[in-house]
Structure 1
Amino acid sequence: MQDASNTKNPNEAKVNLSDHSSVKNLLDDSVSEIVTSRGYVEDTRLSDVKLLIGTIVITIALFAQFCKKKFPENKNFLIGCIILYPFSHVCLIFDSGKYIVINGMLQLISYMKEKNVILFTHPPAGSFSTGLVVSSKLPRFSDLYTLTIASADPKSISANKTVEFTKSVTKWFTKEGVLVEGLLWKEVDGLINNYAREPKKSK
């Protein structure tokens, strides 16, 4: 059997192991790919809502930025922007023409719904189970990666018990920073199988 560390593949995933964000992003992307390969289709509804909010905010900001009048002449226009989007973003125009965007709603969505979530899914086609919420954590200055799989609808009678594992990322990378995808695939696939056979505890 050939040593994975000596295998050269032009398409291999490689990162700088000292770059915390790159390591986590690569693992998260790989986990998402593994989960969707099991028939779970990504649920993009929350992302679509965020994109819509972002589009509205940019539109309001552009109107505010390129308004010909300066403050306080454009006061009524700014009040209109604030009324149109009171809970999300407030555009303030200064004499320099710059504006500050207070990203309230998007941050609220991230805090309330996303947190450490890397993937929301629909149930597999033809399945009576629920979709999944896949989340991960890799604390800064730590090599311990925690992956959690939970039901997208915890109150459903078909929701299973949440499962997770915490493992060192050194298990899945060579010294050169190459991701050994087969090893990660085995771990994640096993966690999905554990979730599928973990019935929800009755209250």
Structure 2
Amino acid sequence: MQGLDFTVVAPYWDLLLIGAWWTAVLTVSAGALSFVGGILFAVIVLYAPKIVAYPVRALMWVFMGTPLLLQLFLIYFGLVQIGIDIPALAAGIVGLGLHFAVYNADIIRAGIVAVDVGQTEGARSIGFGKWQTLRHVVIPQAIRNTAPPIGGNLIALLKESSIVSVIGIAELVHSAQLAISETFRPFEFYITAAALYYILNLVLEAALRRFERHVEVSR
């Protein structure tokens, strides 16, 4: 029986580290899109006219009710048929970002609704308009109150980023698969990729804890 030999990994460290770098880029870029998109979707659903809010609700339902893999295929392969050619990296960022934006939107919407009405009334009494009140009072408080679950979604996004390997993005799993195709040693490279994912996860969790502490201090 062939034993494990992790020395085969050493010549491919550069490839794996490049893959880890692109995984981090995907996570940060798609995470930023999911955060901003979540705020935008939540505000539209709560405050926009029905003619705008209903299509956004329908879009959110579609993204919640279909698999991420199918969404990536539709964005990368499907849009080409109607003349929209999106590069693989951009398609991966958009797909991941929109997929998690709809979940962040539900969280942020609940956070907005939970803000004390007195806060809104106080802001309006000192001359803030509706959108100024939202921007400076309601949304910041909603984000503070929902930071932990949004952080949980970001960690989930990091793990789900491996799916974009199916559209050819050279992230960590894709890099490991390239190495396996040359060495025929899947176990060693998948274990190494798992270890790198774990390190990225620890770094992200540390950053989120620091952010949450900052939020608590700013209350």
TM-score after normalising by structure 1: 0.28
- More relative contact order in 1 or in 2 (CA 8 Å, sep 6+)? 2
Which has the greater radius of gyration?
1
Structure (1/2) with the larger strand percentage: 1
Structure (1/2) with the larger helix percentage: 2
TM-score after normalising by structure 2: 0.26
